[in-house]
Structure formats: structure tokens, C-alpha cells
Structure 1
Amino acid sequence: MQTVAAVTMVRDDAFFLKAWLRHYGEMFGRENCYIVNHGRGAEVAALAEGCNIIGIPGDPHKNFDVKRWGLLNNIVGGLRRYYKHVIVGDVDELVVVDPDLGGSLLDFVKDAPEGRVVTPLGLEVIHRIDLEPDAIDDVILGPRRYVRPAPHYSKPCIVSAPVKIARGGHFTQYDKVHAPDELFLMHLKFCDFGAYVGVMDHRNDVTASVQASIKDASIGRHWFAEARGEDRAVFEAFAELELQDDFNMHPLRRKMRRSFKPRGETGFFHFDRPEYNTQYKLPERFNGLI
């Protein structure tokens, strides 16, 4: 049985797909990467050569996030019969291991117990445009050193148990929370101002073509132009987040574990996801990790 597969779905997000491929493709081998190519984009197919590419129609339709996670759930369920662990998430979400552990993510999953769901701590990589004037080339961490806590992205995304994953990947029907101290999920949406503008323009075009409301589309409000806000103001506001003295994530994980509970009568489980007005500077040991 193979150790680990990585699964994502993408539509034309070349910037994030390149990062995803560098991270998972180089670590796990492209033969263990599964990419749903929504719309059968030629650029996605070219970039992901050597991966397992599943092309699906790109016709506009409502409720596309519900359908997307229905598909991903079934792919994960099938792959779990051939792999000990399956990592699933959006193309701009990458799981990393703290280099202090002394090994890679592949080393971590090789030693990880099976039959469970693992939840990395979510951190959002932010582009401090007042301190980091250069655009991203290839490497992200190093040129970008600041993160903010993102409980919304503390996702149960390393799966080795027969569970259903909720839309967006935020919850599963697994009744325990395993949140190892050394694991992080880095959300890259705000890692580069120029890339952000380009990606958001494209996503706004997609939702405009669907002609669905925010409620009907069942997807994040940021996909809609009317909820987007002014881009530069979004990034300038990062400077106002309170910079913490040290990189101590223990209180955040402790809050996750203590607040873990059933999500009503849905069969899913979740933890509190408070809004934090803080930011941290990543230690230098993270440089080059993504």
C-alpha cells in the first residue's frame, strides 16, 4: 500500500498550482498527485504533466462548491483503499511540518497512525506590502515572513479513516481532533498582492458567468465582485495586526482541542473559529519550505 496521495481541484489558478506542484509533486512524486482539472484547461494540463489529471466539464452552474466537494469526497474515499493517507484541499492550501521536527511531511505521514483524521493549524501567509516590496518568483516562504492565525483554515485534511468531509473541507464526521504541534496548513491567498489581484479577477469572472447569488453558489463571498472590497486596502490593513513577540502556537491549538464538539445534529464535528487581530513573523527555519 502506498503511503500518501495529494488531491486538489483547480480551474486556471496557475500561480497556486505551481506552488502546489512544487510542494506535493516534488515530495510525494507526481504519480501520487491527483488534480481535478475543472474546465479541462490546457495550462493546468501542461503544468500538471506526470500527475493523475481528471478533466471535468467547466460549464457554469449553481451550487458548484457543493458539487465540487461531493466529487472530492468520493475521490478521497476511493484513494484511501490504495493509500495509507490522503491529503485533500484547495490548491492554495499546503500542509507543512515545522522544520524543528527534523523531517519532511512525507516522513511525518510515514510514521503517522492510520484510521484517523489529522487537522493542521491554519496560518494565512500575508504579504506585508509595506515591508516586502518584491513580487514572488518561485519560493514563497522567505520572501514572505508574516502570517496571521486562520482558524477557518485549520482543516481536517489528512484522511486515513472512512469519513465524510463537509463542503469547503472545514468539518468531517470524525469525533476526535488530532492536531499535532508540528503541523501547519499554510493558506496562500494573500501571499502576493499581484497574484491576488489576478486570481480574484478570474474568480469574479467565473461567478459572474454563473449568474448565481452568493447563497445559491454555496461558495465563499470573496468569489463575488460585490463582496471583494478594495484590493490595496485589504493588504495595507495587514500592518495594523498586532505583531506577537514570539512564534508560540500552543494557545491556538489548545483552544481548538478544548472547544471541539458536535456541529449540531449534522453528524459533523467542529471547534471554535474566533477572529484574531494578531500576526506572527515566521522563524527563519521556515524559509524555502514552500
Structure 2
Amino acid sequence: MQTVAAALTMVRDDAFFLKAWLRHYGEALGRENCYVVNHGRGAEVAELAEGCNIIGIPGDPHPNFDMKRWRMLNNLVHGLRCYYTHVIVGDVDELVVVDPASGKGLLDYLAETRPRRVLTPLGLEVIHRIDIEHDPITDHILGPRRHVRLAPHYSKPCVISAGVKIARGGHFTQHDTLIAPEDLYLFHLKFCDFETYVSVMNARNQVTEEVGVGVKEAAIGRHWFAEARGADRAVFDGFARLEMKEGFDLGWVRKRMARSWGPRGDTGFYNFQRPDYGGQYRLPERFVGVI
């Protein structure tokens, strides 16, 4: 049994994304090294995650949902680090990927990565171009979907091998050094499929409705609330209007991250500037089938 890396997430009902998460990390690390917090003890989650380490917790709605979630995930990461060199932690719709051009899989890549550090993959958001991408997603997401946009908000410090605290949402840690390897990406899947997006957002809106408080009173991501949602089709129609960028050399983004790196006020956390770069890229052929 390998002790190089474990993957950890928390999920409630999101079968589409959980299947992708399990396929990716189950194949890369082995299901016995995948840890799934089953929020609400859903039967479908338990069935899909068979062979993984499933932690069932109550699913009662709570206005401080995100705060409680990341307090628990922080403690689980610290515990898992007693047995694994690296722990990958994040939402179920976020997948860490090694560029196939490196010739390495995720496990081999991390086996060669020195410990006691925090890795920040470059965030890319997979977008569904509903005007030209008509094939449904079946076994893999990249193939039917080939377009991404830069997502600095999802360049998360999510590969942990140091004793650091992770901020709510997973966007910052207390590690004072930025390590953003050129071969490492984090693919955010929220917008990878229009029909799935509508279904997931309906479910999340229902959760926040059950909580019974507004955006300002809750420690829950703003995007979970109906009033912040916007018109679904308009969001996806807008992807076609993003400027198409040539090539796929994104080293300049990592350089900008490094130049703006510094303390996040007096919080003890560190961050970089996260501007809206705009535009979109078509993924090179080598990424097809990676997730």
C-alpha cells in the first residue's frame, strides 16, 4: 500500500462530480487512499465511494456550513499527514492534474516531490461551449469538453505536506512560500456541463433556503444562494464571447502570482492577487481523457 499521497473531499449528493473525483483519484492513488466525507450519509454517495474510506456525518443545514466544513477538513488533513507524505484536499468538483507532457502520473509526480511544503496548482475552469460542444459527457470530461478559462480563485494551495492551517474555502494557507509547479493544474468543473450545472445549483439553492438566513448572515459561499445565481443559459452563452487565446503557455500567470505574493493582512495567511484575466483556451490534445 502506497503512503505517498491521499485525497480528501466532502460531498453531499453531487453524484456527477463524485464519479469524476473517484475515477480520477481512485485510478491515480488507489481507492484505499481516498477519503470521502459523506455529508448527510447519503446512500448514493456511500454506494459510489465503495472501496474508499467513507466518513458519514449529519447533514442538518447550518448557517456556518463552510466554517464547520473547513475546520473539520483541516483536522482530517493533519491526521492523514501522520500516515501520508502528501494530502490533496478540496471540493469534489476540483481535480489536481499533472500535465501529460511531463510523462508522469500524479502518484509518481508526488513521489518525487519533497515534503514539508504546500503546492499550488494553476487553476483552470472547464467551460461548456454549448454553441459547439454537443456531445454528452460519459466516461471522461476532457474530450467532450476542450475549453478552459483562467481561474485564479481556484489556484488553491491544496497539496499539503506541511503542518499548516488552511483558510475557509481552501483558498489560502499559512505557508509563507508560494510553490506553483509548471506541470501542475487544478481543474474546476462547476461549468463543465450545462444540464449538470442547473441540477447542482437547484440543489444548492435548496440547501441555503433550508438554512433560512441570507448571504450576509451565513458562512456559506455566496454562489450557493439563488439571488447570486443569475440566468443559467446566459452564463453559458457568454462563454462563446470570451476571446480565444493562442497556445497554452501559462508560465506568465505563475510569474504574476509570484510577484504579488505576500501576507494576507494580519491573518497569518498568504496570498497572491487574483485578477480576472478574461479569455479562453482550447486544451491541447494531450489532455483528452485525463479527467
Q: Identify the TM-score tier after normalising by the shorter chain.
A: over 0.9
Corresponding residue for 1:262?
263
TM-score, normalised relative to structure 1: 0.99
Return the offset for 1:218.
Answer: 1.7
Q: 1:130-145 to 2 correspondence within 5 Å?
A: 130-145=131-146
Matches of 1:14 and 1:150, distance apart in 2: 24
Q: Deviations over 1:38-59 (max 9, x none)?
A: 0000000000001100000001
Counterparts of 1:116 and 1:98, CA distance in 2: 20
SS of 2:163's equivalent in the other structure is: coil
SS in 1 for 2:162: coil
Task: Give the TM-score normalised by the residue count of structure 2.
Answer: 0.98
Count, aligned residues: 290
Where 1:82 maps in the other structure, the secondary structure is: coil
Deviations 1:112-151 (A, max 9, x none): 0000000000000000001101221121001100000000
1:219 CA drift (Å): 2.2
- C-alpha distance in 1, partners of 2:217/2:50? 34
Structure 2 counterpart of 1:27 = 28
Counterpart position of 1:73: 74
* Inter-partner Cα distance in structure 1 for 2:31 and 2:239: 35
Letter in 2 for 1:222: H
The alpha carbon displacement at 1:222 in A equals 1.5
Which residue in the other structure is 1:173 paired with? 174
Q: Is 2:114 the partner of 1:102?
A: no
The alignment's C-alpha RMSD in Å is 0.8
> What amino acid sits opposite 1:51 in the alignment?
C
Superposed displacement of residue 69, structure 1: 0.2
In the aligned structure 2, how far is the partner of 1:38 from the partner of 1:256? 34
What corresponds to 2:53 in structure 1? 52
Structure 2 unaligned regions, length at least 5: none
Query: 2:169 is paired with a residue of what secondary structure?
Result: helix
Q: Which aligned runs of 4 or more in structure 1 are off by greater than 3 angstroms?
A: none
1:171-224 CA-partner distances (Å, limit 9, x unpaired): 000000000000000000000001101111111111111112112222222111
Q: Deviations over 1:232-272 (max 9, x none)?
A: 00000001111101111111111111111000000000000
- 1:109-258 to 2 correspondence within 5 Å? 109-258=110-259
Matching residue's letter, 2:36: I
Secondary structure of the corresponding residue to residue 27 of structure 1: helix
Q: CA deviation at 1:154?
A: 0.1
CA contact (8 A) 1:135 1:194 kept: no
Q: Could you tell me how far apart the structure 1 residues matched to 2:275 and 2:281 are?
A: 17
Q: Percent identity?
A: 69
Question: Are positions 1:284 and 2:281 aligned together?
Answer: no
**CA–CA separation in structure 2 for the residues paired with 1:51 and 1:183:** 24
Structure 1, unaligned runs of 5 or more? none
